[in-house]
Amino acid sequence: MFNPGDIIRSSNHKNWLLLDQIDSDGQGNIWIAKSHPEIQPQRVMLKGGQIPSKEIVYPVNISELPAIELSQDDALYAVKILKNPTDKANSRFKLEVLAESAFSDPRIINILDYYEPQLVHEKDPPWLVMEFVGGGNLQEHGVDGTWQYQLEESLKIFKEIVEAVHILHSNEPPVIHRDLKPANIILREDGSPVLTDFGICYVIDDERHHVTEFGEEVGTRGYIAPELRGTKQQKPTQKSDLYSLGKILYFMLSGGHVMDDEGFTDEKWNLKIEGASSQVEYIHKYIFKHTINKIPEGRYDSCEDLLGAIYFVQELLYEHFYPKEKGRRCVVCGEGEYVLPGIRVGLSRLGLAQPAEEGSVDSYWPHFYICDTCGNMQLFTTKIPSKNEEQDA
């Protein structure tokens, strides 16, 4: 049992002052902490004039020690202390430390210190120290509706999350996270995401780092891929994480809803029906369809493929919000372009003012243009050429 003011010491002889418990996840309790200076052993006067050193037993509470002035600008850290230190829990905790320590990227949590009991009879649980990221997690912001129907902003953050997972998958050997969900993605103050909690990750082709028994279901319902559920499980692959990633994007866009299975086109879960822009069709077609898919073969092969789809959808969204007069991409099918001229429409029928003199800055006529792929028709304004422009042509 730990309390605010306790000082804990790692195997590297670093001291950490626990300030307050701020969170709890499936594995452990999360504390906010500061680095603490080295504690000098207290001298105890005994009979006969001997002054031996009194051994310090950790954790020790700061109230039991001589006052030490701490700098007010000391950095804050996060300490994760394992809740139930069984043999399997200890192994998973150590796996989390090894996996997270293998990467050096701002999108993956940085592990700074670790304590593991060295003796069987030691009662203190293992714990780790990591950087403190103070922007909350994706779960909290998503439930608040921060990104609801915000396609561009959601994709921007989602792309960074996918890039972080791509780093795991590109490692040798590849690392499958297996527990990708909003609560395991925390945000920096600038809003950039950080991937955390590697406790049940799976290292491909490395039996030394397999803690979960085959057939044991791990992960979070609502995000775990279908092939990892139940008793007839397949081995985790990169495609398993892709499924979870699609569910995370849906969570963001829906305002914090966790969708059942793969029903993003069902009336209950369809974002287009709920009120999102018609542009969400791009996300349905190019992201959800190839991630939130019950069959692994129906998903993208890699995060690299998913990133390509994200860039493509971002391009479609940009062109929708900043349309060109002619030749812009179709807002319905996303594949064709409005290149076939339609009918010029009288402005009076549209309730618009007549254009200015030919060749002036404001001389435009509305025209309908037709998509060369699906036939969708949209209204565009087309500049009326001046007499000089017609002669030059």
Using DSSP's 3-state secondary structure scheme, residue 60 falls into: strand
**Domains observed in the chain:** 6-131 (3.30.200.20), 138-320 (1.10.510.10), 328-392 (no CATH)
81: region left, alpha or beta (phi > 0 left; psi from -120 to 50 alpha): beta
- Token pair for residue 347? 């402005």
Residue 162: partners with Cβ closer than 8 Å, 6 or more residues away: 245, 303, 306, 307, 310
> CA dihedral defined by 203, 205, 207, 208, rounded to 10 degrees?
-60
Task: Give the Cα separation of 370 and 137 in Å (integer).
Answer: 44
Closest to 259 in 3D by CA, of 220, 228, 210, 223? 223
CB 367 within 8 A of CB 381: yes
- Token pair for residue 78? 């996060």
Q: Which helix (H) or strand (E) holds 378?
A: strand 377-383
Q: What is the pLDDT of residue 351?
A: 45
Q: What is the pLDDT of residue 388?
A: 55
Q: What is the pLDDT of residue 221?
A: 83
Task: Give the Cα separation of 193 and 133 in Å (integer).
Answer: 10
Q: What is the pLDDT of residue 220?
A: 81
60-61 and 15-24 strand pairing: unpaired
CB 253 within 8 A of CB 271: yes
Q: What is the pLDDT of residue 164?
A: 97
- Phi, psi of 191, rounded to the nearest 5 degrees: 90, -5
Question: In which residue ranges of the chain is pLDDT below 70?
Answer: 39-73, 118-122, 205-219, 231, 274-277, 319-327, 340-367, 379-393
Task: Give the Cα separation of 256 and 41 in Å (integer).
Answer: 52
Task: Give the Cα separation of 10 and 258 in Å (integer).
Answer: 39
